[in-house]
Amino acid sequence: MPNKRVASLCCLGYKNGGKSNYTLSNPAGDELRIAVGKTTTVTRQNTPIGKIVPADGAARFESGDGTVLAVVQPHRGSKADSAWHHRILSPAGDELGVLTLMRAQNGWTGIAAETSLWLLNENVGALKAPSAGALLELRAPVAPALDDVLAAACLDFSVLPRGYIA
């Protein structure tokens, strides 16, 4: 039977990004607080509900108590690819979906040009987004403990930007 898309979520790139504290909320008033860093922590009402932890050249998603919920594999393509596709696997190795980092495409030439403008105190526009965003495509249902961590992972991958190459 072919894979059927269960759900998709897209986080567009953020203006600044980087290690910081972020809040995702919905119209009902539910809030996830996401402390993005080397290990990203996800909390709801000051209770840790998950973590994104670097592991084995990529990352793993854990519950608040440290139980591994899923494993993220590194992108198998080229570093120059405009989108880095990270397969998400259950602890048993079953594919749950793909988290894609959509990279900003100005490369080193754009970075060098912008740095020169800053050093020369030239008219510099808004900061570039660290990425063009992230796209989560689930191909299988996930446990309730994992769903909020996946939403946080979209933000985490977009703002750091956290991408892994095999």
Give me the pLDDT at residue 120, please. 59
Domain that holds residue 63: 7-159
Residue 94 lies in a domain: yes
Residue 164 lies in a domain: no
Residue 81 lies in a domain: yes
Give me the pLDDT at residue 25, please. 85
- Total structural domains within the chain: 1
Q: Is the pLDDT of residue 11 over 80?
A: no
Q: Count other Cβ atoms within 10 Å, centred on residue 120.
A: 8
Beta strands 68-72 and 83-89: pairing type? antiparallel
Residue 108 lies in a domain: yes
Q: Count other Cβ atoms within 10 Å, centred on residue 149.
A: 25
Give me the pLDDT at residue 9, please. 52
Residue 129 lies in a domain: yes
Residue 1 lies in a domain: no
Residue at token pair 């998950």: 50
Q: Count other Cβ atoms within 10 Å, centred on residue 148.
A: 18
Q: Is the pLDDT of residue 32 over 50?
A: yes
Q: Which residue has the higher pLDDT, 45 or 81?
A: 45
Residue at token pair 């909390």: 43
Residue 136 lies in a domain: yes
Residues 86-140 have pLDDT tens digits of 999 999 999 999 998 877 655 445 545 555 555 555 554 544 445 667 888 999 8
Residue 77 lies in a domain: yes
Residues 33-59 have pLDDT tens digits of 999 989 999 999 999 999 999 988 889
60/17 Cα distance (integer angstroms): 21
Sequence-distant (6+) residues with CB within 8 A of 69 are 50, 60, 61, 62, 63, 91, 143, 145, 146, 149
